[in-house]
């Protein structure tokens, strides 16, 4: 069941009052939240809900083993636990990709090799709850904490973050689970603002960009002129931000209503002055995870400049593959890795000081063209699309102007996004409740009217 479906809206209206009424009984409230999380997950597939329950049970036992156990080597126990936590992700999401790749590579040198095909359902959100399981196991290794089975089940199935993040660390979740705010809505005006803004970003803006500029260009690149292709790339760059940022805003709002503050996942990334800053602003929970659990364990920058660049390349390659078992995702990660390394080399050996505005434009262009490999259904399609940039420009039409004006307004609003958020939240706080409700109903009606028919899917659900 999607967060955008009418069924979810009706169930949410029934869920939240009951949830808040249970705030004086924390254990009952946790159980109610757990049942709601698994029920929501089971609407996708009851088998994946059973899978998550079994997976969580083993992770909890591994946590106890890492914390206590008879084996004196804690690092070995942690490594074994990590292997298990990742093995199911690798088997369900990447087995078929690497099976076909290995068979093709061996056939090129005249060897025949057979690996059986495995028909499995990839659980929605497996990448996200796998990474959260790793943060739990590492926390047990570091602090020897005693997390109850109920708390661990709730952590890995927490419905706002279950399907597409953001990745919340076990330590942070547990601290909020036992804070005085648990079970009570916090910063309600901000929560409502986030939910409505997220719905507008996803249902109106992202869908408009996809329908009018993105889908046809990426599906049939040879039918479009150069400017149409450029507009398609620009529109997808904005679409993926509105889609994922909109999702994050919605679930962050729900988290606040549940009494949880979720980690910041986006901080106006397209205003970044360089690639390093971009990755500090884009999908922050994933970027910080890769930094802490991949880049730093590889050695980070402790072994000198040269090795740190190798570690960056490896980390970004893994970041690309994490998004999916496809050559396009791998190339997208490699492109960003090479971009970061190239930027570091320039900064070290040719320290140019470009104007801030130039840095923003160059970074945005680099990110936009890298998205082509992320979006395209195959590497061949991506290259065909890029080839259209040297095709004839095409005749001017108003749709180009609409997109360019929209992009300009987007960047202007991005610059003042935090200020606008504060002002709107203050206004909502001061507004009389009986006036606020009809205003919100009107905004909701406008969003529905501007949205297309059907229930659009979130891009990051596939990851």
Average pLDDT for 359-370: 95
Same domain, 172 and 280: no
Same domain, 154 and 208: no
Assess whether pLDDT exceeds 90 at residue 459: no
Same domain, 149 and 229: no
Average pLDDT for 233-254: 96
Using pLDDT thresholds of 50, 70 and 90, give the confidence band for residue 320: very high
- The residue written with tokens 């990590």 in the block is 82
The string of pLDDT tens digits covering residues 328-362 is: 899 999 999 999 999 999 888 887 777 778 889 99
Query: What is the total residue count of the chain?
Result: 463
For residues 333 and 314, give the distance between their C-alpha atoms in angstroms, rounded to a whole number.
Answer: 9
Average pLDDT for 134-148: 91
Using pLDDT thresholds of 50, 70 and 90, give the confidence band for residue 117: low
Using pLDDT thresholds of 50, 70 and 90, give the confidence band for residue 407: very high
DSSP class of residue 295 equals: I
Same domain, 117 and 22: yes
Same domain, 238 and 361: yes
Same domain, 118 and 47: yes
Assess whether pLDDT exceeds 90 at residue 433: no
- Burial label, 9 (beta-carbon count in 10 A; 0-12, 13-18, 19+): exposed
- Determine, yes or no, domain membership for 420: yes
The confidence score (pLDDT) of residue 69 equals: 63
Average pLDDT for 411-434: 92
Higher pLDDT, 324 or 262: 262
Between helices 46-67 and 149-157, what is the axis angle to 10°?
A: 130
Final residue of a domain: which of 177, 199, 216? 177
Average pLDDT for 80-94: 87
- Determine, yes or no, domain membership for 444: yes
For residues 374 and 364, give the distance between their C-alpha atoms in angstroms, rounded to a whole number.
Answer: 15
- Determine, yes or no, domain membership for 463: no
Assess whether pLDDT exceeds 80 at residue 383: yes
Residue 268, sorted as left (phi over 0), alpha (psi -120 to 50) or beta, turns out to be: left
The confidence score (pLDDT) of residue 375 equals: 92
Name the residue range of residue 58's domain: 6-177
Contact between 96 and 119 under an 8 Å Cβ cutoff? The reply is no
What does the mean pLDDT of the chain come to?
90
Final residue of a domain: which of 158, 177, 196? 177
Same domain, 33 and 147: yes
Average pLDDT for 147-165: 94
Same domain, 124 and 192: no
**3-class SS at 384?**
helix
Same domain, 123 and 212: no
For residues 2 and 349, give the distance between their C-alpha atoms in angstroms, rounded to a whole number.
Answer: 50
Contact between 166 and 135 under an 8 Å Cβ cutoff? The reply is no
Assess whether pLDDT exceeds 90 at residue 397: no
DSSP class of residue 123 equals: -
Using pLDDT thresholds of 50, 70 and 90, give the confidence band for residue 16: very high
The string of pLDDT tens digits covering residues 280-302 is: 999 999 999 999 999 999 998 88
The string of pLDDT tens digits covering residues 436-456 is: 889 889 998 898 888 877 777
- Determine, yes or no, domain membership for 311: yes
Assess whether pLDDT exceeds 70 at residue 177: yes
The confidence score (pLDDT) of residue 70 equals: 60
Same domain, 108 and 214: no
Contact between 56 and 62 under an 8 Å Cβ cutoff? The reply is no
- Determine, yes or no, domain membership for 117: yes
Percentage of the chain exceeding pLDDT 70:
95
**Count: domains in the chain:** 2
The string of pLDDT tens digits covering residues 36-66 is: 999 999 998 888 999 999 999 999 999 999 9
Assess whether pLDDT exceeds 80 at residue 108: no
For residues 229 and 214, give the distance between their C-alpha atoms in angstroms, rounded to a whole number.
Answer: 9
Final residue of a domain: which of 177, 210, 226? 177
The string of pLDDT tens digits covering residues 261-281 is: 999 999 999 999 999 999 999
- 41-45: long-range contacts, CB 8 A cutoff, minimum separation 24: 41/124, 41/157, 41/159, 41/162, 43/1, 44/1, 44/124, 45/121, 45/123
Assess whether pLDDT exceeds 90 at residue 380: no
The confidence score (pLDDT) of residue 75 equals: 84
- Determine, yes or no, domain membership for 1: no
Please give the C-alpha separations between residue 331 and each of 37, 78, 173, 310, in angstroms, as whole numbers: 35, 31, 34, 16
The confidence score (pLDDT) of residue 262 equals: 96
Between helices 126-143 and 46-67, what is the axis angle to 10°?
A: 20
pTM, 2 dp = 0.92
Spell out a b/e string for 217-236, using b for 16 or more CB atoms within 10 Å of the CB, else e: bbeebeebeebbbbbbbbbb
Q: Which of 163-177, 304-318, 371-385 has the lowest mean pLDDT?
A: 371-385
Contact between 404 and 397 under an 8 Å Cβ cutoff? The reply is no
Using pLDDT thresholds of 50, 70 and 90, give the confidence band for residue 11: very high
- R_g of the chain, CA atoms, integer Å: 23
- Determine, yes or no, domain membership for 460: no
The confidence score (pLDDT) of residue 453 equals: 76
The confidence score (pLDDT) of residue 71 equals: 62
Same domain, 163 and 229: no
- Burial label, 180 (beta-carbon count in 10 A; 0-12, 13-18, 19+): exposed
Q: Which residues contact 445 (CB under 8 A, 6 or more apart)?
A: none
Assess whether pLDDT exceeds 80 at residue 1: no
The confidence score (pLDDT) of residue 89 equals: 85
Q: Which of 130-134, 192-196, 347-351 has the lowest mean pLDDT?
A: 347-351
Same domain, 30 and 132: yes
- Determine, yes or no, domain membership for 125: yes
């Amino acid at each position: 069941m999607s967060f955008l479906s009418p069924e979810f809206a009706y169930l949410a209206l029934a869920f939240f009052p009951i949830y808040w009424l249970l705030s004086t009984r924390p254990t009952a409230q946790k159980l109610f939240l757990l049942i709601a999380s698994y029920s929501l997950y089971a609407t996708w597939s009851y088998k994946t809900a059973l899978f998550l329950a079994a997976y969580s049970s083993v992770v909890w036992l591994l946590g106890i083993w890492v914390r206590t156990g008879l084996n004196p080597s804690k690092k070995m126990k942690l490594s074994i636990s990590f292997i298990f936590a990742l093995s199911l992700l690798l088997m369900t999401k990447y087995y078929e990709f690497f099976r076909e790749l290995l068979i093709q590579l061996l056939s090129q040198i005249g060897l025949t090799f057979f690996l059986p095909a495995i028909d499995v359902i990839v659980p929605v959100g497996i990448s996200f709850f796998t990474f959260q399981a790793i943060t739990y196991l590492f926390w047990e290794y570091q602090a020897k904490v005693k997390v109850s089975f109920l708390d661990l089940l709730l952590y890995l199935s927490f419905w706002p973050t279950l399907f597409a993040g953001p990745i919340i660390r076990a330590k942070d979740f547990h601290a909020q689970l036992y804070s005085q705010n648990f079970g009570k809505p916090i910063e309600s005006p901000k929560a409502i603002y986030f939910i409505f803004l997220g719905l507008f970003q996803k249902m109106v803006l992202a869908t408009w960009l996809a329908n009018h500029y993105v889908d046809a260009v990426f599906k049939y690149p040879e039918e479009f002129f150069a400017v149409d292709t450029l507009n398609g790339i620009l529109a997808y760059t904005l679409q993926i931000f509105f889609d994922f940022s909109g999702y994050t805003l919605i679930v962050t709002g729900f988290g606040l209503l549940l009494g949880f503050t979720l980690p910041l996942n986006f901080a106006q990334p397209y205003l970044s002055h360089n690639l390093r800053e971009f990755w500090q602003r884009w999908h922050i929970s994933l970027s910080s995870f890769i930094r802490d659990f991949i880049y730093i364990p590889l050695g980070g920058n402790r072994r000198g400049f040269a090795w740190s660049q190798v570690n960056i390349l490896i980390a970004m390659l893994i970041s690309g593959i994490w998004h999916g078992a496809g050559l396009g995702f791998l190339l997208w990660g490699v492109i960003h890795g090479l971009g970061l390394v190239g930027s570091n080399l320039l900064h070290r050996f040719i320290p140019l000081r470009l104007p801030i505005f130039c840095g923003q434009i160059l970074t945005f262009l680099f990110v936009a063209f890298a998205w082509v490999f992320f979006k395209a259904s195959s590497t061949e399609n991506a290259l065909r699309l890029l080839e259209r940039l040297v095709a004839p420009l095409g005749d001017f039409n108003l749709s180009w102007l609409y997109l360019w004006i929209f992009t300009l307004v987007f960047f202007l609003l991005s610059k003042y996004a935090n200020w606008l958020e504060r002002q709107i939240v203050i206004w909502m706080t001061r507004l009389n409740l009986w006036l606020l409700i009809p205003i919100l109903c009107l905004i909701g009606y406008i969003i529905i009217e501007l949205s297309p028919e059907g229930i659009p899917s979130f891009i990051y659900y596939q990851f």
